Homo-oligomer: A and B are copies of this chain.
Amino acid sequence: MIMKNFALFSLFVLCALWADAQEPASYVNPFIGTTNYGATYPGAVMPHGMVSVVPFNVTPHKGNEYSNTDSWCSNPYVYNNEWMTGFTHVNLSGVGCPDLGSIIVMPTTGELNVDVNEYGTTISDEKARPGYYSTKLNRYNILAEVTATMRSGISRFTFPEGKANILIDLGHGLTNESGAHIKRVSDNEIEGYKLMGTFCYSPQSVMPVYFVVRIKRDNMQSGYWKFQDKLPGARHNWSSTSDTYKLYKRYNKELSGEKIGTYFSFDATEGEQVEVQVGVSYVSIENARENLDAEQTNLSFEQIKKQAYVTWNDELKVIEVEGGTYDDKVKFYSALYHLLLHPNILQDVNGQYPAMESDAILSLDNQDRYTVFSLWDTYRTVHPLISLLYPEKQLDMVRTMVDMYKESGWLPKWEIYGREAHVMEGDPALIVIADTYRRGLTDFEVETAYEAMLKHANTVDNHFLRHDNDFYLENHYIPFLKDYDNSVSQALELYVADYNLALMASEMGDKTTYKKAMQRSLGYRNYFDKEFKLLRPVTEEGKFMEGFDPVQGENFEPVHGFHEGTSWQYSFAVPHDVKGLMRLMGGKNKFVQQLNKCFKDSLFDMSNEPDMGYPYLFNYSSGDEWRTQKQVHDCINRYYKNSPDGLPGNDDTGTLSAWLIYSMMGIYPVCPGDMNYTLSSPVFDKVTIHLNKEIYKKEKIIIEADRKSVNDIYIKGIEINGSPYNRYFISHKDLIELGHIKYKLGAAPKQ
């Protein structure tokens, strides 16, 4: 358990609660990433859980530095904020746009007040561990504890004596969508739905979240509320409810509107514990109830809490680490924890899920349907890592993507609950499919997947995802057409996609596609400006854009040709042709010089995905591998911490965390589709990766480091299965089949 107030941290408490402090789950600190724009949350959630129960503290209020009315606040919880207004039950982790963060349950005491701007409280004694979160609500002297199953949440509130209230507020949250419906179905149960979506301002990407809320208590008074808009003229004065929150005390049928909610009030005895169950579904209210009943019937709060913890622990055990500091282990397992939040489960307990881009309700039997595919982010580290650690999950994710194609005619790019949000660049699904297939995970509908890849690559008119494919297919680059377009960023993504299409074509025996796609993948060379030794936007006429400034674009400053970054942050982002780039730059020395400048002059951005491979690129220059070891360790230590600011930016549904996991283990996938890992020095003395034997035919990979001190970060020698190894690259196949890397480390670079 991680306590927010670290001064209070007590080994005694820790040991008392969890006998085996060595369990991986005991190292997870859910507060990591909850500030510094990490956009993670400390709430209770299961691995890939549909439901997460998260303290919501971004309502605008004194004490809240960031709020959901701030433009960039995309998370339901910010560590340094002080004012909390309830527990949300659907949430996104580590994303860059606000959505979900809704279905809010808030306990209060005293006179009923349903105004979100007034009923909040400061909190203290926050504690979080996998599947559990608790805090004290200072103003009300309530202890709030929450835990979760896959598709439901449960809160336990311990009240002081006196009037107690439980508010279910559907009128605020993170999503930019609005509007909800509620209906009381019994004295202690309500059902309803709330519209979510418009993720990243994509107006047609909307979906309803259905819910059932059940309060495990009898003898309560209850009613609805709605904020009533101001009535015109004298009507405002005649009305007691105009321009205020109206309480519906006698009305119990359906209620719809924008700022609506339900309250339950009762007289609590001292220390009375009341539990609130919330079931969720993206299919129907009936399914939300079925999910709740299936996952919570006959289970106490304590049993659910324990089940969540045990499940997490079992998932995290896939990697065992030895050595390193306590903080290293916390950073590592917290990253693995964050890796396992998205994509998350979409189907209900009965197998039903909402189809991609339609209103159809489909059903699955023996497969998980995933959602929240942030593929531009996740193709680089998340999916290769899931393929290695949880190949059965990765297969279901790819099956999901292929099913989405079958349902909607297109593979996803940024998919959220059955809707494409059209966020970020390129065509990353092609990359994920090829990479997965090439890792030996071929048990999906490959022919259909390849058909989809070809459609994505070759369609010119009415392309759902690429609006510029015609010019690209002919000229192999995207032209700079107007100020602040993302032309180069878009093209760089298409190159990696084409590279992966070529690899997949090769697997499929399609030589024509292989040749064409591989040729296109090198089109980045059109952008290479020898003067700057950087990529530079190019016009339709094939000329470099005038007024190029290679550092324009820092800190989200508008920039021509690049998306959320500078030319420096994109110019090395051709992982499929690093040697080619090196030649363009004038050879390895010039390349290393230019790459070094990124780090020396702070032109590198750890939180921007195209840069994530930069620290590893020195490995392409023989003799410069020590620079990779140095930069990787520097990044691990500088940007990743066991503290709320322990992520360098949006975790991007586990992308930054996955980078950390690889990097702390000493291996990194050089380029999706390319089956090589490049090697660096691990943080731990020993890493054991337990493999899925059914799929990989091997039981484990062991990575060992022989070091005298934590400062020994430089590789003096490498042995594979006991034999000296001179390369800094190893294939996925060799890694699995040979299974044992041993690093000999020292405090100084190898001479």
Which A residues are within 8 Å of any B CB, using their own CB?
Answer: 69-71, 176, 178-181, 193-195, 198, 201, 203-204, 206-208, 226, 228-229, 231-235, 238-241, 246, 248-258, 260, 357, 359
CB-based contact A256/B181 at 8 Å: yes
CB-based contact A201/B240 at 8 Å: yes
Residues of B within 8 A of A206 (CB): 248, 251
Q: Which 5 A-B pairs have the closest CB atoms?
A: A179-B257, A69-B232, A71-B234, A256-B256, A179-B256
Residues of B within 8 A of A357 (CB): 250
CB-based contact A229/B258 at 8 Å: yes
- Assuming the A-B contacts A235-B71, A239-B176, are A208 and B254 also in contact, with contact meaning beta carbons closer than 8 angstroms in the complex? yes
A206 to B203 CA separation, bound complex (whole angstroms) = 33
Given contact pairs A195-B254, A208-B253, A257-B257, enumerate 9 new A-B contacts (beta carbons under 8 Å): A69-B232, A179-B255, A180-B256, A193-B256, A195-B256, A198-B239, A201-B240, A206-B251, A250-B357
A180 to B206 CA separation, bound complex (whole angstroms) = 18
A176 to B228 CA separation, bound complex (whole angstroms) = 9
CB-based contact A226/B71 at 8 Å: no
Residues of B within 8 A of A234 (CB): 71
Q: Which of chain B's residues has its CB closest to A232's CB? A: B69
Chain B nearest Cβ from A354, distance in angstroms: 8
A254 to B354 CA separation, bound complex (whole angstroms) = 13
CB pairs A–B below 8 angstroms (24 shown): A69-B232, A70-B233, A176-B231, A178-B228, A179-B255, A179-B257, A179-B258, A179-B260, A180-B256, A181-B181, A201-B235, A201-B238, A201-B240, A203-B239, A204-B249, A204-B251, A229-B258, A250-B357, A252-B359, A256-B256, A256-B257, A257-B257, A257-B258, A258-B258
Q: Which of chain B's residues has its CB closest to A177's CB? A: B228
CB-based contact A250/B179 at 8 Å: no
CB-based contact B252/A193 at 8 Å: no
Residues of B within 8 A of A239 (CB): 176, 198, 201, 203
CB-based contact A254/B193 at 8 Å: yes
Q: Which of chain B's residues has its CB closest to A283's CB? A: B253
A566 to B204 CA separation, bound complex (whole angstroms) = 59
Residues of B within 8 A of A235 (CB): 71, 176, 201
CB-based contact A195/B250 at 8 Å: no
Residues of B within 8 A of A207 (CB): 251, 253
CB-based contact B226/A179 at 8 Å: yes
CB-based contact A233/B181 at 8 Å: no
- Assuming the A-B contacts A178-B228, A238-B201, A241-B198, are A359 and B253 also in contact, with contact meaning beta carbons closer than 8 angstroms in the complex? yes
A179 to B257 CA separation, bound complex (whole angstroms) = 4
Q: Which of chain B's residues has its CB closest to A234's CB? A: B71
Chain B nearest Cβ from A196, distance in angstroms: 11
Residues of B within 8 A of A69 (CB): 232-233
A70 to B252 CA separation, bound complex (whole angstroms) = 31
The copy count of this chain in the complex is: 2
A178 to B248 CA separation, bound complex (whole angstroms) = 13
Chain B nearest Cβ from A398, distance in angstroms: 25
CB-based contact A254/B181 at 8 Å: yes
Chain B nearest Cβ from A477, distance in angstroms: 28
CB-based contact B258/A204 at 8 Å: no
Chain B nearest Cβ from A701, distance in angstroms: 44
Residues of B within 8 A of A257 (CB): 178-179, 195, 256-258
Chain B nearest Cβ from A37, distance in angstroms: 16
CB-based contact B229/A178 at 8 Å: yes
Chain B nearest Cβ from A526, distance in angstroms: 31
- Assuming the A-B contacts A71-B233, A178-B228, are A203 and B256 also in contact, with contact meaning beta carbons closer than 8 angstroms in the complex? no
Chain B nearest Cβ from A628, distance in angstroms: 38
Among A70, A71, A234, the most chain B Cβ lie within 10 Å of the Cβ of A71
Chain B nearest Cβ from A639, distance in angstroms: 27
Q: Which of chain B's residues has its CB closest to A246's CB? A: B203
A113 to B479 CA separation, bound complex (whole angstroms) = 36
CB-based contact A241/B359 at 8 Å: no
Among A180, A228, A231, A257, the most chain B Cβ lie within 10 Å of the Cβ of A257
Residues of B within 8 A of A181 (CB): 181, 254, 256
Among A194, A228, A260, the most chain B Cβ lie within 10 Å of the Cβ of A228
Residues of B within 8 A of A248 (CB): 204, 206
A226 to B252 CA separation, bound complex (whole angstroms) = 25
Q: Which of chain B's residues has its CB closest to A192's CB? A: B256
Chain B nearest Cβ from A497, distance in angstroms: 25
Residues of B within 8 A of A179 (CB): 226, 255-258, 260
Q: Which of chain B's residues has its CB closest to A233's CB? A: B71
Chain B nearest Cβ from A203, distance in angstroms: 5
A344 to B105 CA separation, bound complex (whole angstroms) = 42
A256 to B71 CA separation, bound complex (whole angstroms) = 25
Chain B nearest Cβ from A430, distance in angstroms: 24
Residues of B within 8 A of A249 (CB): 204
Chain B nearest Cβ from A404, distance in angstroms: 15
Residues of B within 8 A of A255 (CB): 179, 195
CB-based contact B253/A203 at 8 Å: no
Q: Which of chain B's residues has its CB closest to A248's CB? A: B206
Q: Which of chain B's residues has its CB closest to A359's CB? A: B252
Residues of B within 8 A of A359 (CB): 252-253
A26 to B226 CA separation, bound complex (whole angstroms) = 47
A229 to B250 CA separation, bound complex (whole angstroms) = 29
A667 to B552 CA separation, bound complex (whole angstroms) = 92
Chain B nearest Cβ from A343, distance in angstroms: 22
Chain B nearest Cβ from A256, distance in angstroms: 4
Chain B nearest Cβ from A174, distance in angstroms: 11
A586 to B183 CA separation, bound complex (whole angstroms) = 63
